[in-house]
Amino acid sequence: MSYLAIHRTVKAISRDLDVAIAFYKTFVPSARDARLIDRINKVGFHPAFNIISDSLHQSVILSLCRIWDKPADTANMNGLARDFRNAKVIAGLAAGGHVVDPGKLRKWLSEIDAVNNSAELLALKRARNRAIAHTPTPNKAYPGKARVARYGDERKIMERTMPLVEQAGAFIGYSYGTLYVDQRRLRREHAEKFWATLC
């Protein structure tokens, strides 16, 4: 895996994460802002509003699951972790002037494993696989161990993903135009303006 290939992968994942943040910050008011919901209910827009809210919520789940998928032919955190576990890749990065600190790498890989095994991510993947991508058969019980997704699982996975993506970029000298903490704020401001103009 070349530096350029890893750089492209990090860039693709960072774009996906920005999209996930945008979906999430736009979704949250539609699910939590009592004044907004009351305003929509009073003007009778709630059927369309509920569809929009549900679509945004599903898009958050899909975006986060895509970032944490495992297929080798997709840009995802697990593929990036496989690359960073490869001694030849690390040596190639060092030869190109991007020395990866072994202690930081161990910590990063440990957190990758922790997120993969978290109840929140497993619940989101269950929701994606059984409620969004497929309709589960009503004739068989769920065979897996993942719990049902709960409100807040998306935020927890997103918060854990942001520093991991930024650290992956730091390993290869990739600089972000806007840090995720600022991107999150901007997406929240955009969502607030959008919802405030309705009705």
Mean pLDDT of 22-51: 93
pLDDT value at residue 35? 93
Contacts of 85 (CB under 8 A, 6+ apart): 109
Total domains present in the chain: 1
DSSP string of 60-98, one letter each residue: HHHHHHHHT---TTS--HHHHHHHHH-HHHHHHHHHTT-
Kindly report the pTM of this predicted structure.
0.92
**Domain extent at residue 192:** 3-196
Mean pLDDT of 95-120: 96
pLDDT of 42 > 80? The answer is yes
pLDDT value at residue 1? 66
Residues 124 and 109: their CA atoms lie apart, in Å, by: 21
| Angle, helices 180-196/153-172, rounded to nearest 10 degrees | 140
pLDDT value at residue 133? 92
Q: What is the 3-state secondary structure (H, E, C) of 153-180?
A: HHHHHHHHHHHHHHHHHHHHCCCCCCCH
Residues 106 and 169: their CA atoms lie apart, in Å, by: 15
pLDDT value at residue 199? 61
pLDDT band at 163 (very low <50, low <70, confident <90, very high): very high
